[in-house]
């Protein structure tokens, strides 16, 4: 996902944490537009990958303004360890506060 930092649009198979948390298909109407940031495919074969590539190439060729907005969007996504560490620290602090509150009321 480092490539996204430099403007590469992700193309990923719909499996695992990659597509559950990071890559949201540009054509998926169940996802709010502001979160759609790449192209995904389901089947782990040449046909699935080619379908996603065809959609990406078509989007690039036919929607240049939208493509540039997509590039800017993926470049703004913070996937750094600093961001992750901060989120873990906040979660830890909330957990400790809850545990202390529960111990006080027990």
Number of domains the chain is built from: 1
Query: Residue 1: pLDDT above 80?
Result: no
Q: Domain for residue 12, yes or no? A: yes
Q: Domain for residue 101, yes or no? A: no
Neighbours of 25 (CB within 10 A): 22
Residue 16 confidence (pLDDT): 79
CA 93/CA 8 separation, integer angstroms: 35
CA 61/CA 76 separation, integer angstroms: 23
Show the domain range for 23: 2-78
| % of the chain with per-residue pLDDT over 70 | 96
Q: Domain for residue 13, yes or no? A: yes
Q: Domain for residue 20, yes or no? A: yes
Q: Domain for residue 93, yes or no? A: no
Residue 98 confidence (pLDDT): 92
Q: Domain for residue 104, yes or no? A: no
Q: Domain for residue 21, yes or no? A: yes
CA 66/CA 98 separation, integer angstroms: 45
Residue 18 confidence (pLDDT): 66
CA 99/CA 103 separation, integer angstroms: 6
Strand partners, 41: 13
Non-local CB neighbours of 10 within 8 Å, separated by 6+ positions: 1, 3, 4, 22, 23, 37, 38, 39, 74
pLDDT digits (tens, 9 = 90+) for 63-106: 999 999 999 999 998 877 787 788 888 888 999 999 998 888 87
Q: Tally the residues of the chain.
A: 106
The residue that leads in pLDDT, 105 or 58, is 58
pLDDT digits (tens, 9 = 90+) for 13-53: 988 776 666 788 899 999 999 989 999 999 999 999 999 99
């Amino acid at each position: 996902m480092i490539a996204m930092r430099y403007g590469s649009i992700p193309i990923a198979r719909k499996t695992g944490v990659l597509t559950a948390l990071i890559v949201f298909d540009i054509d998926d109407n169940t996802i709010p537009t502001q979160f759609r940031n790449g192209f995904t495919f389901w089947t782990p074969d040449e046909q699935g990958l080619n379908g996603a590539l065809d959609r990406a190439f078509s989007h690039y060729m036919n929607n240049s303004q939208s493509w540039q907005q997509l590039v800017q969007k993926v470049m703004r996504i913070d996937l750094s360890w600093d961001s992750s560490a901060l989120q873990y620290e906040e979660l830890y602090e909330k957990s400790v506060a809850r545990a202390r509150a529960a111990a006080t009321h027990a």
